[in-house]
Amino acid sequence: MGILEVQNVNKHFGGLHALNNVNLDVKEGAIHAIIGPNGAGKSTFLNCLIGKLAPDTGSVMFQGEPVLGKKPYQINQMGISRVFQTPEIFSDLTVFENVMIPCFAHRDGSFMLNAWKAIKGETDIREQADRILLDVNMQDKLHMNAASLSRGDKRRLELAMCLSQDPKLMLLDEPTAGMARADTNATIDLLRDISEKRGITMVIIEHDMHVVFSLADTISVLAQGAIIAEGLPDEIKGHPKVREAYLGEAEV
């Protein structure tokens, strides 16, 4: 029994069969990578998991509860957090405010009319936000406007925002896209650290083989909307189908 179970998910876009009977079983606490060439359906698949897209058929169960049919904010409240390919943050707000928002969402639920309370008085939220920012090493940028952060810092901030919700499952869409090698390695360490210390399950979509093979416990290979191989990193490396579909084109 995995924390996330995907069964027979199909999705069509007009004549394109974007997802073809996709099955996935993610073990609790594991880092599960999904790789595949461009247009293989990776992002479509992730969007189906967070409620952005509704698959045509199939079921997605999270901790035994159905995910499909729920609104994105409800799916998030179940404990599924998403990190986007281009960092999605509140760029008009300060770094500190950015982190406080998910803390509020975690404590107060999807809506609370607390217009008379002062943020200044919310000591528990402020302490939590401080702690999280310390975790990702951004405590010196507390009062900076999020828009003025570097790209790498924006990613770290988004990660911090997801972490502050104490999620059970994190979905990461190319967390190291466009990063220099040093930053990529720092991110790998950070993600491994999070996974080990907090036991958060992760599903990672990634192009960079270096990231995939240094992080993933299990790898699924998606090609033309179908999963063509699944297994431990070593098994995937040597898999003939995978070499043909994907790795053959890239350097390993």
Which positions touch another protein (CB under 8 A)?
Answer: 50, 71-73, 76-77, 81-82, 84, 88-93, 97, 100-102, 104-106, 108-122, 125, 161, 165
In the complex, minimum distance from the CB of residue 192 to another protein, in angstroms, rounded to a whole number: 24
In the complex, minimum distance from the CB of residue 116 to another protein, in angstroms, rounded to a whole number: 6
By beta-carbon proximity to another protein, the closer residue of 168 and 239 is: 168
By beta-carbon proximity to another protein, the closer residue of 13 and 73 is: 73
Among 229, 170, 238, 240, which Cα is nearest to 24's? 229
In the complex, minimum distance from the CB of residue 115 to another protein, in angstroms, rounded to a whole number: 4
* Paired tokens of 35: 């790789």
Query: Would you say 160 and 135 are in contact if contact means Cβ atoms under 8 Å apart?
Result: yes
CA atoms of 228 and 222, how far apart (whole Å): 6
3-state SS, residue 20: strand
By beta-carbon proximity to another protein, the closer residue of 68 and 101 is: 101
In the complex, minimum distance from the CB of residue 42 to another protein, in angstroms, rounded to a whole number: 18
In the complex, minimum distance from the CB of residue 183 to another protein, in angstroms, rounded to a whole number: 22
By beta-carbon proximity to another protein, the closer residue of 201 and 218 is: 201
Treating both helix axes as pointing N-terminal to C-terminal, what angle do 181-198 and 151-163 enclose, rounded to 10 degrees?
A: 10
By beta-carbon proximity to another protein, the closer residue of 120 and 197 is: 120
Look-up: residue for tokens 């594991």?
A: 30
In the complex, minimum distance from the CB of residue 144 to another protein, in angstroms, rounded to a whole number: 11
Report how far apart, in Å, the C-alpha atoms of 191 and of each of 6, 91, 137, 214 are: 24, 23, 14, 11
Strand order through the sheet with 4-13: 16-26, 4-13, 57-62, 65-66
The C-alpha angle 72, 73, 79, rounded to 5 degrees, equals 95
CA atoms of 143 and 95, how far apart (whole Å): 6
